[in-house]
Amino acid sequence: MGETNQVHVLNPFDSVRALCRDMTAEIGKRVVGQQDAIDCLTAGLLLGGHVLMEGVPGVGKTLLARTLADVVDLSFARVQFTPDLMPADVLGTHIVSVGPDGRPSMTLQRGPLFGNVILADEINRASPKTQSALLEAMQEKQISLGTETYTLPRPFFVVATQNPIDNEGTYPLPEAQLDRFLMKLMIGFPSEDDVLAIVDRTADGLDADVSSVATSEQLLSAGKTIRQMPTAETISRYAVRLVLATHPEHEYAPACVRRYVRAGASPRAAQSLLAVAKFFAVLDGRLNASADDVRRAAYPCLRHRILLNFDAIADEATTDTLIRQLLMDLDAPKNPKKRS
């Protein structure tokens, strides 16, 4: 009787999935719940994007960002944004120093952005001028000071937090800066069981110890692997149509978009949808992104890129409500095939 040859198909994304699991396990030692936020922050770090988190004070936004940096052996800097914060406080500046020979020279005093993981805490409390100082760094991964340009270290990951806009003393982020964020996360209040677990864990006043489970080289390699995942044409087209449907003048736009949206998402939103969908597919152990992955990515990738008009404000319509309607109205593809 002949032998049966069994062929083991190697999943090239298994190592990335294992890395994400290790990171999640370490973060879970210090952060209770918030699994969706942990997944999205991990996606942002690996994919080279930036993440905006919104929620009331005390729900763990700062703790999430700091813990993420702790588990991946990256430098971490926190900038507390306030109304009197100046761009030089964020970027750095040139100062005059005197050398051993007594001659004056210009020396670069690096700002906190010269790091790997940057927490821009309460970014909407700073003036628009200071908020805009982040734009070049977030998009170009470099900083210009005077006539000099400085390349930032890699990975370079900005996690910005903000309080709800209706809180006193806040400034809405500029539209151009919002589009620089890969995702926007809404951090809700924890459940009763989660609050109880938080109280028990922090009774001694100390944060749990976490271990570093990844190097910068591993993170960069993982991000490259995720982006190389093949995508079915039907899935790519579905992501593009979701973005087009956010534009009130487009044929795909449902009635709620035509009524409430001032401006729809940019092409960068389609890029974000597909990149994050690939990450979710890796987490699920699959070789291709599905329509469900795109749908899961829709809320964090689109909610900050849809600009509402005055009618939406008057009727208390939200971007999440519109996205939910988009997902209901736009038919999703089934059983996609890989591109040849």
Domain boundaries, the chain: 10-226, 229-333
| Cα–Cα distances in angstroms (integers) from residue 234 to residues 185, 291, 292, 333, in the given order | 27, 9, 13, 6
So what's the pLDDT on residue 171?
75
CATH architecture of 10-226: 3-Layer(aba) Sandwich (3.40)
- Reported as a pLDDT band with limits 50, 70 and 90, residue 168 is low
- Residue range 36-51, pLDDT digits in tens: 899 999 999 999 999 9
Weakest mean pLDDT among 34-43, 97-106, 184-193: 97-106
Q: Is beta strand 92-98 parallel, antiparallel or unpaired with respect to 142-145? A: unpaired
Among 13, 22, 74, 65, CA closest to 40: 65
So what's the pLDDT on residue 339?
43
So what's the pLDDT on residue 17?
92
Contact between 19 and 214 (Cβ < 8 Å): yes
Distance between CA atoms of residues 293 and 42, nearest Å: 16
- Reported as a pLDDT band with limits 50, 70 and 90, residue 283 is very high
- Residue range 323-335, pLDDT digits in tens: 999 999 888 776 4
Among 312, 235, 300, CA closest to 274: 235
Residues 6+ apart with CB under 8 A from 104: 96, 97, 98
Q: Which residue has the higher pLDDT, 268 or 73?
A: 268
Residue 121, Ramachandran bin (φ over 0: left; ψ between -120 and 50: alpha; else beta): beta
CATH class, domain 229-333, is: mainly alpha
- Reported as a pLDDT band with limits 50, 70 and 90, residue 294 is very high
Is the pLDDT assigned to residue 302 strictly greater than 90?
yes
Stretch 163-178: mean pLDDT: 74
Contact between 261 and 312 (Cβ < 8 Å): yes
Q: Which residue has the higher pLDDT, 246 or 58?
A: 246
Phi, then psi, of 207 in degrees rounded to 5: -80, 145
- Reported as a pLDDT band with limits 50, 70 and 90, residue 336 is very low
Distance between CA atoms of residues 108 and 89, nearest Å: 13
Contact between 326 and 200 (Cβ < 8 Å): no
Is the pLDDT assigned to residue 110 strictly greater than 60?
yes
So what's the pLDDT on residue 269?
95
Contact between 307 and 300 (Cβ < 8 Å): no
